[in-house]
Amino acid sequence: MLILMRPDATPEQIDEVMARIRDLGFQGHAMPGAQRIAIGVTGNQGAIDPAHFARCAGVVEAVAVSKPFKQVSREWRPDDTIIAMNAAAGTARFGGGSFAVIAGPCAVENREQLLGTADAVKGGGARVLRGGAYKPRTSPYAFQGMKAEGLTLLAEARERTGLPVVTEVLDTQHVDLVAEHADMLQIGARNMQNFALLEAVGKQPRPVMLKRGLSATIQEFLMAAEYIVKSGNPNVLLCERGIRTFETMTRNTLDLGSIPLIKRLTHLPIIIDPSHGTGDWRSVPALARAAIAVGADGLMVEVHPDPAKALSDGPQSLTPPKFAEMMEGLRALAGVLGVSL
């Protein structure tokens, strides 16, 4: 149930509606928009009779929300959520017409590799540094990341470059530690429906980047975001990174066709990961162009100073010069598209 207030509704009228919602045993959530306030109702199992609110002063309409996702839906909040990360090197802004690029190595491997890459991606125009400290690997015998030591290196890279840092968290028991070192927490594709972890990152204050699961429908993807928002954290940055299909010549199938639909369904910003989406650095610049053209709010790409020696995901990593070249191309497009890059 979503209650739309008149643009000129008074604070007293809003309070009255909130009180009535509480009386019915539900929770009200006031959502200020550009033109008017909407009040979302949660806690109900089934439908609520709109008649409960029809005669309240200041109410335009009480509408049932048909989709299973509520707080993340456009009906709930018509205006774009903008995720802005302030940092020494400037503000990274996702959503509302701003397009930002996250770049860095797949995994933090050592101090030299990380700091060198951080300098390079900053030089190329990245707004956020990425780097994996805890690595989810299909094989228990593969490199599992530098863990806590990697977090320390990421913090050092932030000090040095002024770029905010995003890194993945794999376990509820690490959420506090990661949130202490990073500016944004990443939930990986394989944990998109790790509901305990979604709730845990929903209860801490850092923005969360949520990657779409390999076989997650758009609806499941938004429901996973709903878990985080419902737990108290409204700053969820969605990330489309390719889904699993029958095609094996590309690492995943990047679902760019879903972006306009997702933008209609939700107010949350969404970025594209063409590195995992294609699995081949040669395809990354073309898909980065497609991402900005299709209306996404940003990119995440993997960059490595020496891809051939990378401990993971070398074949999909750009070198620093190739990254800089890609950014050139995006800036030219951003001008034509009216996007702030």
Residues numbered 73-112 forming contacts with a second copy, rule: CB under 8 A: none
Per CB under 8 A, 65 contacts a second copy: no
The one segment of 31-39, 125-133, 179-187, 238-246 that binds a second copy by CB under 8 A: 238-246
User: Of 29, 52, 70, 127, which one interacts with a second copy (CB under 8 A)?
Assistant: 70
The one segment of 12-20, 124-132, 156-164, 237-245 that binds a second copy by CB under 8 A: 237-245
Secondary structure element (H or E) that encloses residue 159, with its range: helix 148-161
Token pair, residue 219, equals 């609806």
Residues numbered 159-188 forming contacts with a second copy, rule: CB under 8 A: 170-174
Smallest separation (angstroms) from a second copy to the CB of 175: 11
Tokens 């009200």 locate to 28
Q: With beta carbons less than 8 A apart as the criterion, state whether 187 and 211 touch.
A: yes
Q: With beta carbons less than 8 A apart as the criterion, state whether 54 and 4 touch.
A: no
Per CB under 8 A, 9 contacts a second copy: no
Token pair, residue 186, equals 């990443």
Per CB under 8 A, 141 contacts a second copy: yes
Per CB under 8 A, 140 contacts a second copy: yes
Per CB under 8 A, 261 contacts a second copy: yes
Per CB under 8 A, 191 contacts a second copy: yes
Per CB under 8 A, 11 contacts a second copy: no
Site string for a second copy, 308-327 (x = CB under 8 A): --------------------
State the burial class of residue 5 (Cβ atoms within 10 Å of its Cβ: 0-12, 13-18, 19+). Answer: buried
Secondary structure element (H or E) that encloses residue 165, with its range: strand 165-168
Q: How far apart are CA 207 and CA 189, in angstroms?
A: 17
Q: Which is nearer to a second copy, 167 or 191 (CB)?
A: 191
- The closest alpha carbon to 114, from 49, 65, 159, belongs to 159
Per CB under 8 A, 66 contacts a second copy: no
Q: Which is nearer to a second copy, 118 or 301 (CB)?
A: 301
Per CB under 8 A, 47 contacts a second copy: no
Q: How far apart are CA 126 and CA 280, in angstroms?
A: 20
The one segment of 26-34, 107-115, 242-250, 298-306 that binds a second copy by CB under 8 A: 242-250
Per CB under 8 A, 148 contacts a second copy: no
Number of residues lying near a second copy (CB under 8 A): 74
Per CB under 8 A, 297 contacts a second copy: no
Q: Which is nearer to a second copy, 11 or 25 (CB)?
A: 25
Site string for a second copy, 200-229 (x = CB under 8 A): -------------xxx-xxxx--x--xx--
Q: How far apart are CA 120 and CA 140, in angstroms?
A: 32
Q: Which residues of 241-274 are buried (b: 16+ CB within 10 A; e: fewer)?
A: bbbeeeeeeebbebbbebbeebbebbbbbbbbbb
Per CB under 8 A, 147 contacts a second copy: no
According to DSSP, the β-strands at 37-42 and 59-63 are unpaired
Site string for a second copy, 276-295 (x = CB under 8 A): -xx-x-xx--xx-xxxxxxx
Per CB under 8 A, 195 contacts a second copy: yes
Q: With beta carbons less than 8 A apart as the criterion, state whether 305 and 116 touch.
A: yes
* Helix/strand/coil for 303: strand
